[in-house]
Structure 1
Amino acid sequence: MLRKRSISRQVLDATYAVVFVLLLLPSTLNGVAGTAGVGVLVGFGIALAFRRRSPRWSLALAWVLAVVQMVGGVLPLSADTAIFAILYCSAAYGDNLVRRLGLVSAVVGGVIAALYLAYVDGDPFSAPREEVIREPRLVQFAFLLAGLWAMLGLSWALGRLAYARRTAIESAHARELAEVHQARAEHEVAIEQERNRIARDMHDIVAHSLAVVIAQADGARYVRTVDPAAVDTALTTISGTARDALSDVRVLLGQLRHSQGDLPNPTPGDLERLLDQMRATGLTIDSSVDTTEVPLGAGAHLALYRIAQESLTNALRHGDPHKPVTVAIESDSAGIELTVRNSMSSTRPMSESGGHGVAGMKERAGLSGGTCTASGDGSTWTVTAWLPAATSTKGIG
């Protein structure tokens, strides 16, 4: 199989092969090998030209040339040094099979070459049999085998080291690229989460503020003839609600522009002001707030406030205005629980799947490590949220 290589590297290999043939051509022509030696030299030059592009075929051609050289009785040539480069490339650029074949070639080729050099002189079939087993030839064979194995094995080992180094560099680059993609994906997820958070805040601010403004405006229109002072109170409430909403929206817009900053973190006093503000709209609220201080995180504080705000806004918009809304906050060492219950209106039904308010409350509680449920039984609508204390892991899923 041909391996894809850059054009410049192919040209370099071909140039190296041509220079190799031209440098050794004079000594080969002047030697005793003659035309057969020139053919072997050219063959090794071709093997060198595509040793990196196709190590498998280069190694196969080297074996063919070695067999031809031995069968033709051609004595060892300088061109045989090309075998070292071919073995190197089989280990450095070949696949697993080619690397194994290169190692086998180094071992088996060393044995065959040592036998040929030790026992064959000219014609490989002319040596007397009794001369084959003489002791001097055995010693010569042993030394030749050790030397050939050392050189051939070293060539293959160097190629294997080059392959390991290249693989390590490629793996490092792949890891760096994967880390870049992971960081980019995490950044995109963080951006999407921030957009969702801002969208939730915008929904809570606008929905709550408009509900209060509408309720106050409608109430002032109805009572202006019998209680003119109530109109001033309503207008004051509308003005304060609008200013607070405008301030919060400006903070959100600043986050969109600069990707930094948060809305001011609500405090227990803000929750009391929220209840007073909703009472000012005409909503009757029976509250029971546990004053025990619970160490909530910043996210849980904001979630508690927004869930209470959304629940009361829904009660104002969809609940029965003639019946009170109960708000209960209970706390212990594990966390804090908020329960908002209101009567349902037959003309303005509430639905768990309608709008984004319920989904936003559940998402806020979940991001803070808590839970939130919202459901009705036909006559009442109940929102229950539990948020863990800062030192508690309960409810984190």
Structure 2
Amino acid sequence: MPSLLTALRALLEPAIAAVFLTLWIIAEAGRIQGPLGLTMMVLVAIAIAVGRIWPLVSLCLVGLLLVLQLATVLPPPESTTWPVYFGIMIVNFLVARNGNGRLPVVALTLGVPIAAVIAFLMVVPSWVSPWGWTSWTGQGNNSRQIIGTYFVAAIVAFFLYAGAWAAGYAVRLYVVQQRSRILLSQTSADLGRAETELTIVKERDRIAREVHDVLAHSLSVVIAQADGARFISAAKPEATRVALEAISDAARSSLIDVRTFIEGLREEPGDEPQPNLSDLDSLVARVSAAGLAVEVQHFGPAKPMTPAQQLALFRIVQECLTNALRHSGRTSPTRISFDWRGPGLALTVSSRCDAERRPALIATEQPVSGHGIRGMKDRARLAGGWLTAGASEGPDSDFLVTVFLPTGSDALEPRSPLPELTA
């Protein structure tokens, strides 16, 4: 449909020109002054036909017509043919509507000489045509009448010319405004879609991060307990029962967390309970039951933190313990230090990283999926703090995670992270 409308639009000016020429030929049948008289009408019709695609050529054809009439190559207008000059007004409209660059301004500037020439050709008698407007209206060829009529005709011709130009330029501005409005609407729609897609991506990332934090920890505990029970089941049956209880508790806790999270997605965000500082003890207990030695130290009295900061702290500690359970041996303890003596909480988590597990731990530090260490950094940054992680040099080295979360009035101030430890 748009292509059909475009094709019809391209045929509009040629159709107007054809109708213009046909009506003049019919009106002047039997009175046309030979081929030269017909040429005047043909030039105006051609100027109208090409006014949209070649506005400069259209304006030049008008000038050529008037010059040829001044030079008496073409006959001047007669009492019945002078209205053909209204075709020049149509041409001026098309030039103002479709002209590029300064052409519309040039067309308006040429209005004064064009009006003067039209008035001269219509009013002032010549040796080719001793009759003019005053003779056509029965006033005779009195010089005073001719001069007065000339100025009136020139002024009227200019105002008609300027009116046609103003109408064409107004249509031009309207079309530009409509196109700008359409582009603005399309741009707004594109921005809306981009914002929606960004929101979806962020929500997917948030869901993936939450599911990763919940399941990775619980499954690590389950795997550790299951492996331990498998190896000592024959020698210590009682230990197998304890391990199975720990597996059951970890799986049940994970199921509750995932179910709570999914229910939160169905409802308004923020209604579901989130882990906080009081849940850290049970987290450490679950990991300790899985066989990982954990030492916890507190320095200074705890300070109040926002719910978002407590959730971030819980998830960071959970991820650190999960990585330690995966990659560190059970012989070396994982040390967690909470230092509240500064302007915020300084948290350090260190675990032994032996030579065999070091490549896997380094891979965990920069995961492709965007979780793990990078997820912890995002959580710390969104909570107003920073996080660094890295393994020190040596065959048997510690993997150290350092976190700072501001408290009190500094809780919303983002901090610049310390330089990363080189692996």
TM over 0.5: yes
Shift of the 352–343 alpha-carbon distance from structure 1 to 2, 3 Å rule, reads closer
Partners of 1:149 and 1:353 in 2: CA distance: 84
> For 1:158-191, what per-residue CA distance to the aligned partner results, in whole angstroms no more than 9, with x for missing partners?
1111111110110110011111112212222222
User: 2:229 corresponds to which residue?
Assistant: 220
Q: Provide structure 2 residue ranges, at least 5 long, that are not aligned to the other structure.
A: 133-142, 417-423
Task: State the shift of 1:39 in Å.
Answer: 2.0
- Letter in structure 2 aligned against 1:92: R
Contact 2:77 2:121 in 1 (8 A): no
Q: CA deviation at 1:140?
A: 4.1
Residues 95 and 168 in structure 2, CA contact (< 8 A), matched pair in contact too = yes
Aligned position for 2:135: none
Once the two structures are TM-superposed, the CA of residue 138 in structure 1 deviates from its matched residue by 5.1
2:87 matched to 1:82? yes
Residue number in structure 2 paired with 1:385:
403
TM-score (norm: length of structure 1): 0.83
CA distance, structure 1, for counterparts of residue 224 and residue 214 of structure 2: 16
Distance change in 2, residues 1:55/1:259 (3 Å)? farther
Read off the aligned partner of 2:77 and give its amino acid letter.
L
Secondary structure of 1:198's aligned partner: helix
Preserved contact between residue 66 and residue 117 of structure 2 (Cα < 8 Å): no
- CA deviations over 1:14-73 (Å, ceiling 9, x no partner): 332222223222443455745433221122222223322332222222222222233334
The aligned amino acid for 2:86 is: T
Partner Cα separation in structure 1 for residue 227 and residue 111 of structure 2: 97
How far off is 1:283 after superposition?
A: 2.3
What is the match of residue 121 of structure 1? Answer: 126
The answer to whether the Cα contact below 8 Å between 1:352 and 1:375 also exists between their aligned partners in 2 is no
Change (3 A) 1:121 1:288: farther
Q: What residue in structure 1 maps to residue 413 of structure 2? A: 394
**Residues paired across the two proteins, number:** 386
Q: Residue type matched to 2:404 in 1? A: W
- C-alpha change, 1:322 and 1:61, in structure 2 (3 Å) is same
Query: Would you say the 8 A contact 1:330–1:338 is kept in 2?
Result: yes
Quote the Cα distance in structure 2 between the aligned partners of 1:183 and 1:17: 46
Which of the residues 160, 171, 183 maps onto 2:192? 183
Q: Which residue of structure 1 aligns with residue 327 of structure 2?
A: 318
Alignment equivalent of 2:105, drawn from 100, 103, 108 = 100
The one-letter code of the counterpart of 2:54 is S
Task: Give the fraction of aligned pairs with identical amino acids, expressed as a percent.
Answer: 30
Q: Which residue of 2 aligns with 1:294?
A: 304
Separation in 2, partners of 1:335, 1:28: 98
Shift of residue 145, structure 1, vs aligned partner: 3.0
Q: What code does the residue aligned with 2:174 have?
A: R
- What's the counterpart of residue 51 of structure 2? 51
Deviation per residue, 1:311-361 (Å, 9 max, x gap): 011122222422332223345896544321223334322666412322222
Alpha-carbon shift at residue 254 of structure 1 (Å): 7.1
Q: CA deviation at 1:227?
A: 5.5
| Matching residue of 2:421 | none
**Aligned residue for 1:148?**
157
Q: Does 1:305 align with 2:320?
A: no
Q: Give unmatched runs, 5+ long, in structure 1.
A: 128-133
CA–CA separation in structure 2 for the residues paired with 1:143 and 1:52: 31
After TM superposition, the structure 1 stretch with the greater mean CA deviation from structure 2, 154-163 or 67-76, is 67-76
Give runs of aligned pairs for residues 307-386 of structure 1, distance below 5 A: 307-331=316-340, 336-349=345-358, 353-355=362-364, 356=367, 357-378=372-393, 379-386=397-404
Residue 44 of structure 2 aligns to which amino acid in structure 1?
Answer: F
What's the C-alpha RMSD, in Å, of the aligned pairs? 3.4
